[in-house]
A and B are shown apart, each in its own frame.
Chain A
Amino acid sequence: MNETIALEVLRYNPDTDREPHFQRYAVPYRDEWVVLDALTHIKDQLDATLCFRWSCHMAVCGSCGVMINGEPKLGCHAFLRDYRNGVVRVEPLDHFPIERDLVIVMDDFMAKLSSVEPYLLVDAAKPLGEGEHLQTPAELNLFKQYAQCINCLLCYAACPQYGLNEGFVGPAALALAHRYNLDSRDTGKDRRAEVVASNEGVWECSFVGACSAVCPKGVDPAAAIQQTKVSASLDWFKAFLLPGGRK
């Protein structure tokens, strides 16, 4: 059992490299190994300078996103056996600046995520004495899917609109905004609308649908964005066309 598999990993060292370049490694092939295991093997046995992020090894933390043969994937969720007899090309996620090797700079996403205030916004907090904020299973079902996001950024790497215009708020942040807008306990929809319903919000999306295709958690950001477009349009009609509308 001396089978090996070739990994081509994009390397970039800001101290010494002018630009990124590929480096090839031969890694033992194991049926049960994922690409993250192969990267760990390289770092432990072959080349300690290789830099990449990971934490949970179980598709929960969202830190190990990379491009594998051109497709955004979680390194811990992509089995070597699916690439057997070929070369596995591992690159940092598309559309983000490379900090070093496979590590990207995600400041842009973090800023966008906070801009949609992805937490419960409540106009008038209920006094503690009045008890919990109850929610029925039906109310939970409305947004549960969008709450599964692990901020892995695969959707940003898949989205050509984000690649072409980095001002775009992007799939995961918009999906999370939608998640809180749909929450029966939340009253922050109008506040979020300033970002969400702006030109660089949902209207920048042309429904390529790639975000939903690559999402490892079934979040379906494309659906969240289209639903937000529908509801933003309805709000606009209500505000400007109906007598007694808001604003």
Chain B
Amino acid sequence: MSRRPYLRKIERHWWLRHRRYVVYMVRELTSLFVALYCALLVDGLVRLAQGQAAWEGFVAAISSPLGVLFQLLCLVFATFHSITWFAVTPKAMPVMVKGEAVPPWTIVTAHYAVWAALSLLVLVAAGV
């Protein structure tokens, strides 16, 4: 009787083994597009500061078919990211009222409500 513990290596494609790991990987990927879109917004600000010509160039670039396609892609990924994030918010931020947990759906719904309100605010501010 000897001890010789055997450690099995984790497979390289471990995340293909179960749906929940695939969903996780997709979600991680979507954050890349969220970050890219943030970079685009920052770039827009920089161009704005550089004056009218730079700004108009920026607007022309994002209105081109390629620019629109990129933004659509970002929108899809950001939406996926937000929906999956909202779905887990009750875990990260449970709310207790009078010693009882507030039902998770209330917290999720509150997030959607804030999202809708902020979007509306942005649309109004943009004069749409």
Interface residues, chain A, with chain B CB atoms under 8 Å away? 12, 14-15, 19-20, 70-71, 94-99, 105, 136-139, 141-142, 160, 163-164, 206-210, 212-213, 220, 222-223, 226-227, 229-230
- Contact between chains at B93 and A230 (CB < 8 Å): yes
- Residue of A99, A139, A160, A212 ringed by the most chain B CB atoms within 10 A: A160
Q: Which of the residues B7, B14, B18, B101 comes within 8 Å of A98, measured between beta carbons?
A: B7
B98 to chain A, nearest CB (A): 7
Known A-B contacts A137-B99, A138-B99, A163-B14; A208 and B21 likewise in contact (beta carbons under 8 Å): yes
Chain A residue at minimum C-beta to C-beta distance from B97: A138
Q: CB-CB < 8 A to A138: which residues of B?
A: 96, 98-100
Q: Which of the residues B6, B21, B96 comes within 8 Å of A97, measured between beta carbons?
A: B6
Q: Which of the residues B15, B20, B96 comes within 8 Å of A141, measured between beta carbons?
A: B96
Q: CB-CB < 8 A to A163: which residues of B?
A: 10, 14
B112 within 8 A of partner (CB): no
A100 to chain B, nearest CB (A): 9
B21 to chain A, nearest CB (A): 7
Please report the C-alpha to C-alpha distance between residue A69 and residue B109 in the assembled complex, in whole angstroms. 37
B28 to chain A, nearest CB (A): 7
- Contact between chains at B5 and A95 (CB < 8 Å): no
Q: Which of B1-53 contact A (CB under 8 A)?
A: 1-8, 10, 14-15, 17-18, 20-21, 24, 28
7 closest A-B pairs by CB: A138-B99, A97-B5, A226-B92, A223-B91, A14-B4, A97-B7, A163-B10
- Contact between chains at B5 and A105 (CB < 8 Å): yes
Q: CB-CB < 8 A to A14: which residues of B?
A: 2-6
- Contact between chains at A99 and B10 (CB < 8 Å): no
B116 within 8 A of partner (CB): no
Chain B residue at minimum C-beta to C-beta distance from A145: B101
A48 to chain B, nearest CB (A): 16
Q: CB-CB < 8 A to B2: which residues of A?
A: 14-15
- Contact between chains at A99 and B5 (CB < 8 Å): yes
What are 14 A-to-B residue pairs whose CB atoms are below 8 Å? A14-B2, A20-B6, A71-B18, A97-B6, A98-B7, A136-B99, A138-B99, A160-B10, A208-B20, A223-B91, A223-B92, A229-B92, A230-B92, A230-B93
